Structure 1
Amino acid sequence: MVKYRMATPNERDECIDLANYAFRFDFETLMPKAYGKNVDSSAMHMVAADEKGRLRAQVAVLPEPLTVCDYTLRTCYLGTVSVHPRARGEGHMKVLMNMWLGELRNTYDMVVLYGQRQRYEYFGFTLGGVKFKYFVGEANVRHALRHANDTGISFCPLFEVVGAESFAHSINTSRHAYIERNVQQLPLIFNTLHQKALGVLDEGMLIGYLIVNEAGDEISEFAMKNTDDISRSIKAYKEYSRAERISIYTPEYDIPLNTTLGSIAEDYVIETSDMYHILDFANVLKAYLTLKFKTTGIVQGEFSAVMDGQPITARVDASGVTVERSAKPDAVVLNKQQAQALLLTQHSRYMAITAPVGWFPLPLFWYKIDKF
């Protein structure tokens, strides 16, 4: 008889062993913020245990408070969806996913994950969000950044610099949107998914940091204290990395970084960022419309709908964004999949729904080290 329950503290190693066996990864090094040797993450796991107490499957949820333009959203990242090879096809994942979503429904605004699209669409997730990816090569730097003075710029492991934790925490919390990162855990967080944290120094003084992959040719997070140092740091890093071409990811709402990269990059693509399951449409809509209003800009207008049973009317005028938990009599009625497709995807433009131009998709974005 299989029991579905929360993991107990003494099952930490069993949770990690199951994840390692199912995925063929070393989760202690892949995800040290959750599975590091001194981190007890057992409480994040809901498990399926057989009559002998052996774990057959598990699903974990990592709480990630999100601030968007001074609005706090209760979000979490769902991951480590693991089923023992000998227990596959027995329905454990379905039970655990539905149990978790039932637990989260009244306490969170949104659940995030990354996984195979159709598999998680069955549980109400939609692939969406907005992620820009720029490609910068040698010719781009030589011509477009020929006047950028990178003299004095150097790089070193971030946490070898005194005060790096408080510096990185300050940059993160100064953003228009950010996941809460525990200062004491930053060295572990910054190593998520085998990423490396490099401090950017100017004459020995810390001016920013880069989160890069093991090969050094992909920057998943480009953070400068002063925007004037963006061009200089790109030029210096291109030389430092010795990569033929580097790719740089950015959120749509990082105006200074997108402005610089848009003027020099050889090419760029717009990608989805994650899969999202919105539980409170009003809270998510208010936060991210406000983010657009304060960054890329947004046309004034009104939109009213009933989204997954939740009545909402959003308005944008010169003073900002308001969202009411009521709908107009002629409001469009959307099920969950339709509502999330409208709010989260580029395909909203093809839907037969009248909405102010440019409102959607909302610019949801997760930095790589905040994933789980």
Structure 2
Amino acid sequence: MMEYRKARPDEREAYIDLANYAFKIDFESVIPKVYGKDMDPSAMHMVAADEQGRLRAQVAVYPEPMNVGGFPLRAGYLGIVSVHPRARGEGHMKVLMNKWLEEAPQSYDMLVLYGQRQRYEYFDFTLGGVRIKYTVGQDNARHALNDVSIDGLSIRPLFEIEGAAAFAGKLNDARPSFVQRDEQQMPFVLTGLEQRPLGVLDEGRLIGYLVVGKTGKEITEFAMENADDIPRAMKAYLAHAGTDWLSVLAPEYETELNASLSRFAENYAIETSDMYHIFDFARVLEAYLTLKHRTIGLAYGQFSAILDGQPVTARVDENGVTVERSALPGAGEFTKQQAQKLLLTPHGRFMEARVPAGWFPLPIFWYMADKF
């Protein structure tokens, strides 16, 4: 008889071994913020254990409390979906996913994951959000940044620099939207998923940092104390990396970063950012409409609907954003998948919904360092 339950602390080695076996990687080194030697993430793991107590499958949710435009949001990142090869096809993943989805609304406003679209649409996750991907090359630096001086700038491994963790925490907390990061865990957060955090120094003083992927050709996080230093840091990193081309990922709501990159990047693409399952539509709407209103800007107007059985009315006027848990007479009704498609993608324009221009998609974005 299979038992579906939370993992016990004494099973730490077993659930890590199962994940390593299924994904063919070493999770203790790849995601140290969760699986570091002194961590006990047992309560995050929902497992399937057979009669001999062997773990045959697991699904984990990593808590990620957020601040979105000054609004607290409870998010969880779902991952480590793994099934032992000898137990595949027995339905364990489906049971564990559904158990999490039954339990999660007590603790989370939404869950996030990265995975194959149709696989997780069965569990009412929707591919969406907004990520802007810029392409920058040596020719851009040579011409558009010709007059930008990088004298005095240097690039060094971030955590070789004194005070780097506190500095990175300060820049993260200054963002319009951010996942809360513990300062003591910052080296593990920014080195997860085989990333390399690099400090940008000006005459030896730390002025910003970049997080780059394994090959060094993708900047997954670009944080500068002063936005005017973004072109200098970009030109300095291109020289440091010695690569012809690289890409830079940015959230839509970091307007100074986008304004700077857009002035010299060769090209850009607007992409999706992960998959989302919303439990509390009113809270998610209020958080991200507020964020968008304070950064990108929103047209005045109102939107009223019943989203997955939850009535909401959102308004934007001279006083800002307000969201009520009620719907106006005649408000449209949408299933969870329809509601998430409307809020999280640009495809709402193909739906019969009365929405002020530019409100959706909501600018939801996840930095690589915060993924699980």
User: What is the rounded CA distance, in whole Å, between the counterparts of 2:336 and 2:293 in structure 1?
Assistant: 25
Aligned equivalent of 2:137 = 137
**Equivalent position of 1:363 in the other structure:** 363
1:6-45 equivalences under 5 Å are 6-45=6-45
Specify the alignment match of 1:280 in structure 2. Answer: 280
Query: Is the partner of 1:65 in helix, strand or coil?
Result: strand
Task: Report deviation, 1:365.
Answer: 0.1
How many residue pairs align between the two structures?
A: 372
Amino acid at match of 1:206: L
Deviations 1:306-358 (A, max 9, x none): 00000000000122000000000110000100000000012112222121000
Residue in 1 that maps onto 2:293: 293
Q: Separation in 2 of the partners of 1:349 and 1:261?
A: 28
Q: In the aligned structure 2, how far is the partner of 1:240 from the partner of 1:350?
A: 46
The alpha carbon displacement at 1:360 in A equals 0.2
- Residue 317 of structure 2: aligned partner: 317
- Per the alignment, residue 55 of structure 2 pairs with 55
1:198 is displaced (CA, Å) by 0.3
Counterpart of 1:246 in structure 2 is: 246
Q: How does 1:320-339 map to 2 (within 5 A)?
A: 320-339=320-339
The alpha-carbon deviation at position 3 of structure 1 amounts to: 0.3
Q: CA deviation at 1:35?
A: 1.1
User: By how many angstroms is 1:98 displaced?
Assistant: 0.6
Question: 1:90-129 alignment to 2 at 5 Å?
Answer: 90-129=90-129
Per-residue CA deviation, residues 25-59 of structure 1 (Å, 9 max, x unaligned), is 11112111111222222221010000000000000
Amino acid across the alignment from 2:73: L
- Equivalent residue of 2:253, what SS? coil
Whole-angstrom CA distance in 2 between matches of 1:310 and 1:234? 45
Tell me the secondary structure at the aligned position of residue 89 of structure 1: coil
Shift of 1:136: 0.3
State which drifts further: 347-356 or 164-173: 347-356
* Runs (5+) with no aligned partner, structure 2: none
Deviation readout 1:154-181 (Å, 9 max, x if unpaired): 0111111111111000000011100011
Moved over 4 A (4+): none
In structure 2, C-alpha distance between the alignment counterparts of 1:269 and 1:289, rounded to whole Å: 23
Give 1:148's aligned residue: 148
- Equivalent position SS for 1:105: helix
Report the CA distance between 1:23 and its aligned residue.
1.0
Matched letter for residue 8 of structure 1: R
SS of residue matched to 1:81: strand
Aligned to 1:216: 216
Q: In structure 1, what is the Cα distance between the partners aligned to 2:351 and 2:147?
A: 46
Can you list the C-alpha shifts for 1:243-271, whole angstroms capped at 9, x where unaligned? 11010000001111111111111111111
Separation of aligned partners in 2, 1:280 and 1:363: 17
1:182-221 paired onto structure 2 within 5 Å: 182-221=182-221
| DSSP 3-state at the match of 2:106 | coil
Deviations 1:63-111 (A, max 9, x none): 0001011110011001000000010011100110111111112321010
1:256 alignment counterpart: 256
Distance 2:302 2:228 in 1: 37
CA deviation vs aligned residue, 1:109-135 (integer Å, no higher than 9, x gap): 010001111111111100000000000
SS at match of 1:74: strand
CA distance in 2, matches of 1:242, 1:348: 42
Q: Which runs of 5+ in 1 are unaligned?
A: none
Tell me the distance in 2 between the aligned counterparts of 1:46 and 1:108. 16
CA distance in 1, matches of 2:28, 2:130: 29
Q: 1:75 — aligned with what? A: 75
Moved more, 33-42 or 50-59: 33-42
- Partners of 2:180 and 2:303 in 1: CA distance: 31
Opposite residue 311 of structure 1, the aligned amino acid is: P
The yes-or-no answer on 1:236 pairing with 2:236 is: yes
Shift of 1:217: 0.9
**Which residue is 1:350 aligned to?**
350
Report the Cα distance in structure 1 between the residues aligned to 2:55 and 2:350, rounded to whole angstroms. Answer: 45
Aligned equivalents of 1:211, 1:202: Cα separation in 2: 18
Distance 1:316 1:27 in 2: 44
TM-score (norm 2): 0.99
